[in-house]
Structure 1
């Protein structure tokens, strides 16, 4: 794979600055918990189901504990103390009684606290072991069935709103050449502070992400994987107000990839920055344990800001995402950093600049499964022009060695794609893959040419921005609109009421385990 001749000292400087920007955020995460982290922990312990209004029992239980004892010390001590001392057959029964106002939670001490923590650790460990087991199951299936024969992997979206309609569409897409199926989440679900239960048949521009929907789709794609002789991967979302819970459910149901960006929810959904950073660290630790590839969202910056002027903000975000991912235990092979083909095609030399930006990402992150996103912002409704742009996008992905290629639709921004639109888009991908599969071996831009010089320019601008971020702090930089031009102050946004500063006696058995970086230790012991 061709790499650009970048200044190694400048690259090292960029990574050091990203780490300096990220360390205070990690410290912040170490000092706080959230309602969604605590709910995810109880989900790992086996709590599931919902009341007659569709509100999960885990929400009812955590809300009751928060009202009675607060979140500052975590919910495990009062919940498992009550489970141990009371006449409760299960966490579900306890949650139902708590929702009815029939339980008084207290903070145990002494031997009672030790006993509660022992029980909590044992119950939560079952869920963590299940996440690890699903990773091993995936590894076994890939070994048995086989991976797709070439990179990039072809990533295609389905989203009817009805999981039972999504399944046959996903299977048809896999038969037509898709290697990864992404089930787009129902519009607005990221702003729900609960995860719906069960299989769902009504969604808006997408299908609700639920544990049962994960299970159904994964089961169907396993069947199709065996039929086709290549393992078909499933993608969903660990973002929004329930990021940790989505991660836990994905781990327990063997979802293979999750969209999980450290700043997307802050910038594009106005979720409180502190809540987001606390939640994303926990979710990434779960992803590391489950061997789940994360997909980050840098492509979104280029839909709101100019793709040429803001190119360096993508590089900065990639470096920050890399730091946060490594700190949470994610190795490079699970780090699907995002970027996109979003330069206005009317700009002179636009394709050469796209190649420069794509090669910069590939050179900075040679071992990461980079996710290359198709044009959206400058699609006009002219489907012929759109199909041509998508062809250039596919060509750039092949030439620069991208790992995951999201299939571009010529009807982008016009209509929700028909199945026939997807077939035409997949024909475009297949032609370029077949005709140009080894082109990256022959593509060697000159060291003093346009592409290399543009990449160095973007890297230099990224370092300048990182230096400014270090001077003011990442939270302040986000508040000033540095990324995607949205200003998101740390005291604003949705979900702040669900954030609590940890007390000196804080305990969460999942965090206690994950902070030991078990996924990293397992990798090192291989």
Structure 2
């Protein structure tokens, strides 16, 4: 059910904001459509089934893409040279080809004529096979939701990340039994800066657990077990950001994750990843998310950890509008846009709760069909656990009053240490109490017409339009370079990963992008429920 309209926003003002966001996004979309990256090319090979790594942990997809790049470049993509080499033999699979490429035993070329036609057909078949596997995983989710039931919103979102996947699993199952509807496994610190995806199950990670295909598989299976036990589907979240965004998105689709953190600017601002690399990788990632039925979570909440939550409120709205446009262009529906925002206003400011209500209600009404993700206070948690627990209760109350969709539980020990399991239990008790005691309160909360909450919301929307006009004049890459979002300045030609960006040449081929561009990601297809007719060996 769509939320009530309580702020009486001018529809034409809202339409103007969206038009400006679409215009600002267009040059970025064009750049993403005319360039590729090393990670986009590796993602194609992962879709085709290539897995594994050498004895030092370097994935075979990295070896294969790097060898192709060194010999013939990536301007035409990896599909033509790789499947041409397979056709010329004697390699029976991508895995054998990758091993020989790593040993320097392969000479790649850009095929022409009938050789190019043969390679194109084989590459398209391999990409189709991988996307069919993603389709079947999506169909599995649909069946499980029908079988075990979908919990009512707001969904309670809880983080688990010990560094050891085998420790994460029992903690995640315990969290589900205590009321968590969404379990997020935070990645090990620094993984976003790795230009490869580790292989296998991992048991060591700093402040998080590595995102790997095997870790995804293990956690999804564990949450399926507890979903059947509890009679409600428990969703799994991880992070599709960083230098391997397209690959992690692909692995998430193959292993049926339900949500992925995927923001248009988070990696740029907070991890100093090159803006061009990020936007190009992001488009392919979101196309995979759309096809897999994955809900993205965007990262606007992070801006308020570095910028003032009152002064910078409009930058959150602008980023949400941009994320919406980028998401729609990549095929995401409104119900896959888990746009982020946060309860981060200094509680010492008089009327801080009214300001929070104004901001939260504005976002709710601007994106009525989006499963908004509301983040708890972190910046102003002082170490006073009693005040922190109270502040988290106010956050939970604001979430219920304004009809937020996903509520991440706040920890009273935030900023002191990694929370204990007992802290998590108390946090879940807090959100359960407020959610149950205030059930339906969103229906009764109606701000006074032209009162403080309404006027503040309209002010933030007006400031958002002013900023979007400036971005249209200067360009989004310039705005990011000037520190518009989250204060931090990130120039378009700076940061990590720019050397992995390649402009596409005429004749560029990536059959996965061809399929994702050409087909409706949400169309019902019978083949999602059928086994592959033909698997391409990896």
The residue aligned with 1:59 is: 62
Partner SS, residue 366 of structure 1? coil
The residue aligned with 1:13 is: 16
Q: Separation in 1 of the partners of 2:520 and 2:334?
A: 16
Of 73, 77, 92, the match for 2:76? 73
Which digits, 9 at most, give the CA deviation of each residue in 1:74-107, with x for residues without a partner? 0100000001111112101100000000001011
State the shift of 1:517 in Å: 4.0
Of 312, 319, 323, the match for 1:321? 323
Which digits, 9 at most, give the CA deviation of each residue in 1:451-473, with x for residues without a partner? 01000000000000000000001
Q: Separation in 1 of the partners of 2:317 and 2:299?
A: 12
The residue aligned with 1:144 is: 147
Q: Separation in 2 of the partners of 1:163 and 1:128?
A: 27
The residue aligned with 1:130 is: 133
The residue aligned with 1:87 is: 90
Q: Contact (CA 8 Å) 1:54, 1:197: kept in 2 or not? A: yes
The residue aligned with 1:226 is: 228
Q: Contact (CA 8 Å) 1:329, 1:517: kept in 2 or not? A: no
Mapped pair 1:109 → 2:106: no
| More divergent stretch after superposition (186-195 vs 480-489) | 480-489
Which digits, 9 at most, give the CA deviation of each residue in 1:431-488, with x for residues without a partner? 0011001100101111211001000000000000000000001111111111001111
Q: Separation in 1 of the partners of 2:408 and 2:36?
A: 35
Partner SS, residue 518 of structure 2? coil
Of 121, 138, 147, the match for 1:118? 121
Which digits, 9 at most, give the CA deviation of each residue in 1:25-81, with x for residues without a partner? 000001100000000000000000000000100000000000001011101000000
The residue aligned with 1:240 is: 242
State the shift of 1:520 in Å: 4.6
Q: Separation in 1 of the partners of 2:406 and 2:501?
A: 35
Equivalence map 1:29-40=2 (5 Å): 29-40=32-43
The residue aligned with 2:536 is: none
The residue aligned with 2:530 is: none
Which digits, 9 at most, give the CA deviation of each residue in 1:341-371, with x for residues without a partner? 0000001100000000000000000000000
Which digits, 9 at most, give the CA deviation of each residue in 1:219-260, with x for residues without a partner? 000000000000000000100000000000000000000000
The residue aligned with 2:531 is: none
The residue aligned with 2:370 is: 368
Of 508, 511, 515, the match for 2:510? 508
Partner SS, residue 154 of structure 1? strand
The residue aligned with 2:532 is: none
State the shift of 1:7 in Å: 1.2
Q: Contact (CA 8 Å) 1:293, 1:335: kept in 2 or not? A: yes
Q: Contact (CA 8 Å) 1:328, 1:517: kept in 2 or not? A: no
Partner SS, residue 9 of structure 2? coil
Q: Separation in 2 of the partners of 1:508 and 1:71?
A: 11
The residue aligned with 1:26 is: 29
Q: Separation in 1 of the partners of 2:502 and 2:348?
A: 49
The residue aligned with 2:453 is: 451
Normalized against structure 2, the TM-score is what?
0.96
Partner SS, residue 466 of structure 2? helix
Q: Which runs of 5+ in 1 are unaligned?
A: none
Aligned residue-pair number: 522
State the shift of 1:521 in Å: 4.7
Partner SS, residue 519 of structure 1? coil
Q: Contact (CA 8 Å) 1:125, 1:510: kept in 2 or not? A: yes
Q: Contact (CA 8 Å) 1:369, 1:404: kept in 2 or not? A: yes
State the shift of 1:276 in Å: 0.4
Partner SS, residue 22 of structure 1? helix
Q: Contact (CA 8 Å) 1:197, 1:212: kept in 2 or not? A: yes
Equivalence map 1:258-407=2 (5 Å): 258-407=260-409
Q: Separation in 2 of the partners of 1:8 and 1:447?
A: 16
Q: Contact (CA 8 Å) 1:383, 1:410: kept in 2 or not? A: yes
Q: Separation in 2 of the partners of 1:343 and 1:189?
A: 30
Normalized against structure 1, the TM-score is what?
0.99
Partner SS, residue 158 of structure 2? strand
Q: Separation in 2 of the partners of 1:187 and 1:418?
A: 19
Q: After the TM superposition, which parts of structure 1 deviate over 4 Å for at least 4 consecutive aligned residues?
A: 520-523
Mapped pair 1:44 → 2:34: no
Partner SS, residue 181 of structure 1? strand
Q: Separation in 1 of the partners of 2:486 and 2:135?
A: 36
Q: Contact (CA 8 Å) 1:171, 1:221: kept in 2 or not? A: yes
